[in-house]
Structure 1
Amino acid sequence: MHKFIKIISKLFATTLLLSPVIAWAQVNIGLPIIELKTGIYRIQAELADTPKAREVGLMNRTSMPSNSGMLFVFEQKAGHCFWMNNTKIPLSIAFIADDGKIVNIEEMQAETTNNHCPKAAVRYALEMNKQWFSDRVIVPGSVISGLPRRELP
């Protein structure tokens, strides 16, 4: 009986540890996930690299694990602006140059339509939970590695 209780306790603890991952998997709409790095931090980022994936983004999600996010990849460098219409969680967005350097970071409130734009033309934008970057002292000029490389026009 004692062994049975130990096994049940381990299963319960494992379930508790995995529940945020399971919840994240349930809201992931089947986008590929890539690993990015900045400093000592690893990021599991969903890849939004099609018009439809970029349009939907993180809309209607109610949570996101702490080191997870969404990387938006555009075909052209431009002033790609973002807003939070139908987005339930507050986010931070880092606009990233082709060399991986963060151009600027914006804090975005949930359910708003304010534009958040890069300070220079970019091809990449990374959305994370609100204050993820500032809590880790990741600032403009910091480098994000692991970005998918595209044929540059």
Structure 2
Amino acid sequence: MQKKILLSFFALLFAATFFSCAQRLPVQTLTITTADQRQIRVLAETAETAEQRNRGFMERKNIPAGTGMVFIFERDQILNFWMKNTPTPLSIAYIDSRGTIRDIFDMTPFSLSSVTSTLSVRYALEVPQGWFTENGIKPGDKVTIPQRMLMYGKEASNRKQ
């Protein structure tokens, strides 16, 4: 009996560790400069592959304020996001290749409705719903794109050739 309980405990511990680690992606610090020149930082996991972008924040129940996920694409395009299997309310900013926030939308948990950018953009940044508003971040504000993120698109393009 005790051996069975101990074995179950270790199996549960392994599963929890595996799934929590498997979902985490590399992190970048993004700096957003508002119209009034305030600088706000967000720690963003980076989703650069199609698989990482498709998974996003699915099944994540806790996304702390000041953190998010940045989705990186190889080229500017109209982007569509949904909230399939995502229980946490999120806000999304669509960002062009120069780092200008073009749109900010709130998204509904578990919704299969697309949230579409109004212009061609290169990046999308998801954060806990209301975080942009709480920090006074609006369309037109600038995101400093780290050099490493600029390279993602180039590397992906080179892999296709």
CA gap of 1:61–1:38, structure 2 versus 1, over 3 A, is same
The TM-score, its normalising length taken from structure 2, stands at 0.75
RMSD across aligned positions (CA): 2.1
The aligned residue for residue 44 of structure 1 is 43
The aligned residue for residue 132 of structure 1 is 131
The count of residues paired between Structure 1 and Structure 2 equals 130
What is the identity, as a one-letter code, of the residue corresponding to 2:30? L
The TM-score, its normalising length taken from structure 1, stands at 0.79
Contact 1:27 1:61 in 2 (8 A): no
- Give the Cα separation in 1 of the matches to 2:86 and 2:46: 17
Counterparts of 1:50-89 in structure 2 under 5 Å?
50-89=49-88
- Give the Cα separation in 2 of the matches to 1:27 and 1:33: 13
Matched, 1:117 2:112: no
Contact 1:36 1:145 in 2 (8 A): yes
**Bigger helix fraction:** 2
- Give the Cα separation in 2 of the matches to 1:143 and 1:62: 29
The CA deviation at 1:27 is 6.0
Unaligned runs of 5+ in 2: 1-18, 34-38
CA deviation vs aligned residue, 1:110-131 (integer Å, no higher than 9, x gap): 0111111111111100000001
The CA deviation at 1:135 is 1.2
CA deviation vs aligned residue, 1:62-106 (integer Å, no higher than 9, x gap): 011100000000112111100001001000000001111100001
Contact 1:48 1:73 in 2 (8 A): yes
Contact 1:84 1:111 in 2 (8 A): yes
**Bigger strand fraction:** 2
